[in-house]
């Protein structure tokens, strides 16, 4: 999985960011997948039904934010995009064929689950 979860060495100045992936799951499989994400070190937030635009249409789906803190040596856009891609791939591996991680990217320290400042969130897309 590249250097995503690599510990810092004593000579490296490490940066820390929270990378979040947005996930859509079938509700029947959600409990098992949410447990697997937590076991892999992700903090998960499930979208409350009142946030969903049309509960009748999305009633069988579960929307999730899966967040992981990563440390890295180079605080560049390319490095953040690379880490976001690795988080996306890792989450997709966990959710398997019954879900999809649609995108992943850095979030601010004060991020509230399912609250976005802009309509188009900056992220690496699946």
Delineate the domains of the chain, giving CATH numbers in brackets.
15-107 (3.30.70)
Cα distance between residue 124 and residue 126, in whole Å: 7
pTM of the model: 0.77
pLDDT at res. 1: 45
pLDDT digits (tens, 9 = 90+) for 24-77: 998 888 899 999 999 999 999 988 766 666 655 556 788 899 999 988 877 778
pLDDT at res. 90: 97
Contact partners, residue 94, CB within 8 Å, separation at least 6: 33, 36, 37, 40
Give the gyration radius of the chain's Cα atoms.
15
pLDDT digits (tens, 9 = 90+) for 11-34: 556 788 899 999 999 888 889 999
């Amino acid at each position: 999985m590249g250097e995503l979860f690599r510990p810092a060495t004593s000579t490296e100045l490490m940066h820390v960011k929270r990378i979040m992936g947005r996930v859509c799951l079938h509700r029947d499989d959600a409990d098992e997948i949410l447990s697997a994400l937590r076991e892999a070190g992700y903090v998960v937030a499930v979208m409350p039904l009142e946030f969903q635009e049309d509960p009748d249409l999305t009633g069988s789906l579960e929307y999730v934010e899966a967040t992981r803190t990563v440390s890295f040596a180079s605080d560049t856009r390319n490095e953040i995009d690379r880490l976001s891609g690795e988080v996306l791939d890792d989450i997709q591996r966990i959710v398997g064929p019954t879900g999809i991680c649609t995108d992943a990217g850095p979030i601010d320290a004060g991020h509230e689950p399912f609250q976005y400042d802009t309509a188009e969130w900056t992220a690496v897309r699946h």
